[in-house]
Structure 1
Amino acid sequence: MSTLSPRPSYAAVLRVPHARRTFAAALVGRLSYGTVSLALMLSLTRSTGSYAVAGTVMAVFGATGVLVSPYRAALVDRHGLRRALIPMALSYGGLLCVLAELCRRPGVPAALLAVAAALAGACTPPLGSTMRAVWAEMLPDRQLLLRAYSLDGVAEELLFVSGPLLVGAVVTVAPPAVGVVLSAFLVVTGTLAFVSSPAAALLGPAGPEKSDGPAPGGDGTGQGRALLQPVVVAACVGVSVSAVDLLVVAYAGERGLGDGAVAWVLAALSVGSAVGGLVNGAVAWSSPTRARLPFFAAGLGLCLAAAGLAPGLGTLILAVTCAGLFVAPALTTAYLVADESAAPGFRVRAGTWCNTAVNAGLSAGAGAVGLLVERLPLPVCFAVSGAVAVAAALVPGRRRDRSAGRPGPVSRRPSRSRPSRRSGRSPRRRSPSGASGRP
Structure 2
Amino acid sequence: MSLTTPSTSAPCVTYRAVLGSPHVARLLAGTLTGRLPNAMAPVAIVLWATACGGGIALGGLLSALYGLASSLVQPVKGRLMDRHGQSAVHLPAALLNATLLVALAAIGHHGGPALSTAIVVAAGLTTPPLEAGLRALWPTVLPNPRMRHAALALDTGSQGLLYIVGPLLVAALTAGYNPSCALVVTAALGLIGTAVVALTPPSRSRRPAQAAATDGGPGRRLISLGLVLLFVALAGVGFAIGAMNVWSVALAEQHGQSMLSGIIPAAFSTGSLLGGLVYGRRMWKGTTTSRLITGGAAFLAGWLPLLAVLGPGAATAAVIVPGAFLTVVVACAFLTTDTLAPVGRTSEAYAWLILSIGAGQSTGTALAGRLAEHHLASAALPAAGAAFALTVLLAGRPHLHGAGHLPGPAGTTARPQAEATSPDQQPNTASILVT
Shared fold by TM > 0.5?
yes
Q: Secondary structure at the match of 2:209?
A: coil
Q: Report the CA distance between 1:275 and its aligned residue.
A: 1.3
Q: Secondary structure at the match of 1:140?
A: coil
Name the counterpart of 1:166: 169
String of CA shifts for 1:13-72, please: whole Å, max 9, x gaps.
Answer: 212222222222222212232322222221122113322222222222222111111111
Match of 1:424 among 408, 411, 415: 415
1:283 aligns with 2:263: no
Extract unaligned runs of 5+ from structure 2. 421-431
Name the counterpart of 2:390: 393
CA contact (8 A) 2:164 2:266 kept: no
Going from structure 1 to structure 2, the CA distance change for 1:44 and 1:274 (only over 3 Å counts) comes to same
Name the counterpart of 2:250: 250
| 54-63 vs 304-313, greater mean Cα deviation | 304-313
1:382 aligns with 2:379: yes
Q: How many angstroms apart in 1 are the aligned matches of 2:150 and 2:32?
A: 17
1:193 aligns with 2:202: no
Name the counterpart of 2:42: 37
- TM-score of the two chains, using structure 1 as the length reference: 0.85
Q: Report the CA distance between 1:123 and its aligned residue.
A: 1.0
String of CA shifts for 1:261-293, please: whole Å, max 9, x gaps.
Answer: 444433322222211121111231121111111
Name the counterpart of 1:53: 58
The 5-angstrom pairing of residues 82-231 of structure 1 reads: 82-102=87-107, 104=108, 106-206=109-209, 216-217=219-220, 219-220=221-222, 223-231=223-231
Q: How many angstroms apart in 2 are the aligned matches of 1:129 and 1:168?
A: 28
Q: How many angstroms apart in 1 are the aligned matches of 2:171 and 2:381?
A: 34
Q: Secondary structure at the match of 2:283?
A: strand
- TM-score of the two chains, using structure 2 as the length reference: 0.86
Going from structure 1 to structure 2, the CA distance change for 1:249 and 1:159 (only over 3 Å counts) comes to closer
String of CA shifts for 1:232-254, please: whole Å, max 9, x gaps.
Answer: 23211111012112223333444
1:359 aligns with 2:358: yes
Q: How many angstroms apart in 2 are the aligned matches of 1:163 and 1:349?
A: 26
String of CA shifts for 1:135-174, please: whole Å, max 9, x gaps.
Answer: 1322233332221111112222112211122222222332
Name the counterpart of 2:423: none
Name the counterpart of 2:307: 308
Q: How many angstroms apart in 2 are the aligned matches of 1:409 and 1:428?
A: 23
1:241 aligns with 2:235: no
| 1-10 vs 87-96, greater mean Cα deviation | 1-10
Q: Secondary structure at the match of 2:319?
A: helix
Q: Report the CA distance between 1:318 and its aligned residue.
A: 3.2
Going from structure 1 to structure 2, the CA distance change for 1:179 and 1:248 (only over 3 Å counts) comes to closer
CA contact (8 A) 1:233 1:334 kept: no
The 5-angstrom pairing of residues 14-33 of structure 1 reads: 14-33=19-38
Q: How many angstroms apart in 1 are the aligned matches of 2:213 and 2:46?
A: 40
| 26-35 vs 126-135, greater mean Cα deviation | 26-35
Q: How many angstroms apart in 2 are the aligned matches of 1:201 and 1:232?
A: 33
Q: Report the CA distance between 1:401 and its aligned residue.
A: 6.9
Q: Secondary structure at the match of 1:3?
A: coil
Amino acid at match of 1:312: G
Q: Secondary structure at the match of 2:124?
A: helix
Extract unaligned runs of 5+ from structure 1. 412-420, 433-439
Q: How many angstroms apart in 1 are the aligned matches of 2:303 and 2:110?
A: 45
Name the counterpart of 1:407: 407
For the aligned residue pairs, the C-alpha RMSD in angstroms reads 2.9
Going from structure 1 to structure 2, the CA distance change for 1:295 and 1:401 (only over 3 Å counts) comes to closer
CA contact (8 A) 2:157 2:327 kept: yes
Amino acid at match of 2:314: T
Amino acid at match of 1:230: L
Q: Report the CA distance between 1:365 and its aligned residue.
A: 0.4
Amino acid at match of 1:294: I
Amino acid at match of 1:15: G
Going from structure 1 to structure 2, the CA distance change for 1:251 and 1:82 (only over 3 Å counts) comes to closer
Amino acid at match of 2:234: A
Q: How many angstroms apart in 1 are the aligned matches of 2:410 and 2:204?
A: 18
Going from structure 1 to structure 2, the CA distance change for 1:245 and 1:426 (only over 3 Å counts) comes to closer
Q: How many angstroms apart in 1 are the aligned matches of 2:253 and 2:328?
A: 31
Q: How many angstroms apart in 1 are the aligned matches of 2:225 and 2:98?
A: 36
Going from structure 1 to structure 2, the CA distance change for 1:428 and 1:67 (only over 3 Å counts) comes to closer
Going from structure 1 to structure 2, the CA distance change for 1:86 and 1:422 (only over 3 Å counts) comes to farther
Going from structure 1 to structure 2, the CA distance change for 1:268 and 1:188 (only over 3 Å counts) comes to closer
Q: Report the CA distance between 1:188 and its aligned residue.
A: 1.6
| 173-182 vs 360-369, greater mean Cα deviation | 173-182
Q: How many angstroms apart in 2 are the aligned matches of 1:388 and 1:15?
A: 38
Amino acid at match of 1:225: L
Going from structure 1 to structure 2, the CA distance change for 1:47 and 1:260 (only over 3 Å counts) comes to closer
Amino acid at match of 1:189: I
String of CA shifts for 1:365-423, please: whole Å, max 9, x gaps.
Answer: 0111122334x5x3344334312212211221324774x55427999xxxxxxxxx976
